[in-house]
Amino acid sequence: MKLLKIELKKIVTYRTFWIIFGLYFAFLALGIILAEFIVNAMVDDINKRLPIPLPHAVLFNFPDIWQNLTFFASIRYVLIFPAILIIILITNEFTNKTVRQNIINGMSRSEFLISKLQLVLLLALVITVVLTIVIFILGIAHSDIQNISQLFVRFSFVPGFFVQMVSFLCYALFFGFLFRNTGLTIALFTLYCLIIEPVIYFFLRAPFIWENKIYPYLPVNAVIRVVEYPAIPALKKLMNFQLQEGISLIACGTPILYSALMIGIIFWSFNKRDL
């Protein structure tokens, strides 16, 4: 707790942190508000070509809302915001050389790393809790009594989302420790998540039959695939979505394994290198 207190002191009056934090939630809220509108626009479009029109999708009723909101909150363009926060907080330590001062003042290298891991867990927890509260409020507002009896049926998407968040933030931490420079790290991390991995997918996909066996195991995709699809029955039929009833432990295992490996590498190299 002592280490976490120190980390919080670094954040509380840090304006940049709060701006990005606020932007993240604004972006997320906008996404949620627009989601139903966009999905139903798609349904309308499809209905033009169908003899029997599909019903409009309802995203915010229980128990589907658990899956839908965790799905929208874990698309890569949204996940990147909290990852950037972590990158800024860790690379700040290197660019301001405060990591050196922390060691000089009597923090061990392991403690320094642990304090950053605690920060990752805390940030993931806060975001998960906020999302859960949003789900409750939206869900109750949109559900009838019959649905409310099924309130917790798909609650497993919440711990699933927490795993996504922690893993993705661990990746960010790994990049931060690796490159140290704020701008460079953000650029490389964003490039990898949004371009390099999709490009790898693109080239793997065409000539090989085993495309789908590899792609879900690339680090970022492994995170995103934890909540694979939204629960939209209309689209499920048309776009050949598989039904995802809950979170699979195997799907969670891949990103956890990646994070553990990355943290292991950070521990090993950080204890060895000069600061």
- Burial of residue 236, with CB atoms counted within 10 A of its CB: 0-12 exposed, 13-18 middle, 19 or more buried: middle
CA separation, residue 27 to residues 20, 37, 164, 168, 257 (Å): 10, 16, 18, 18, 29
Of 20, 42, 111, 153, the one binding another protein (CB under 8 A) is 111
Chain centre distance of CA 20: 15
The answer to whether residue 118 forms part of the interface with another protein (CB under 8 A) is no
The answer to whether residue 13 forms part of the interface with another protein (CB under 8 A) is yes
Which residue in the block uniquely carries the two structure tokens 């919440």? 158
Minimum Å gap between C-beta 178 and another protein is 18
Residue from 96, 255, 84 nearest 175 by CA = 84
The answer to whether residue 122 forms part of the interface with another protein (CB under 8 A) is no
- Give the number of other CB atoms < 10 A from CB of residue 181: 13
Nearest residue (CB) to another protein, 105 versus 242: 105
Minimum Å gap between C-beta 21 and another protein is 15
Nearest residue (CB) to another protein, 49 versus 272: 272
The answer to whether residue 181 forms part of the interface with another protein (CB under 8 A) is no
Minimum Å gap between C-beta 183 and another protein is 16
- Preceding peptide of 63 cis, ω within 30°: yes
Nearest residue (CB) to another protein, 106 versus 207: 106
- Give the number of other CB atoms < 10 A from CB of residue 146: 9
Query: For another protein, which stretch binds (CB under 8 A), given 9-17, 47-55, 154-162, 164-172?
Result: 9-17
Q: Determine the 3-state secondary structure of 231 from DSSP.
A: coil
Of 1, 2, 51, 242, the one binding another protein (CB under 8 A) is 2
The answer to whether residue 153 forms part of the interface with another protein (CB under 8 A) is no
Two structure tokens written together for 151:
């309130």
Query: For another protein, which stretch binds (CB under 8 A), given 10-18, 150-158, 225-233, 250-258?
Result: 10-18
Of 1, 33, 51, 106, the one binding another protein (CB under 8 A) is 106
CA angle 245, 248, 249 (to 5 degrees): 155
Minimum Å gap between C-beta 192 and another protein is 28
- Burial of residue 204, with CB atoms counted within 10 A of its CB: 0-12 exposed, 13-18 middle, 19 or more buried: middle
The answer to whether residue 20 forms part of the interface with another protein (CB under 8 A) is no
The answer to whether residue 48 forms part of the interface with another protein (CB under 8 A) is no
The answer to whether residue 102 forms part of the interface with another protein (CB under 8 A) is yes
Size of the site for another protein (CB under 8 A): 28
Of 34, 108, 148, 203, the one binding another protein (CB under 8 A) is 108
Distance CA 177, CA 185 (A): 9
Of 45, 105, 144, 250, the one binding another protein (CB under 8 A) is 105
Distance CA 41, CA 58 (A): 13
Residue from 94, 114, 118, 98 nearest 176 by CA = 94
- Site residues (vs another protein, CB under 8 A): 2, 5-6, 9-10, 13-16, 92, 96-98, 100-109, 111, 272-275
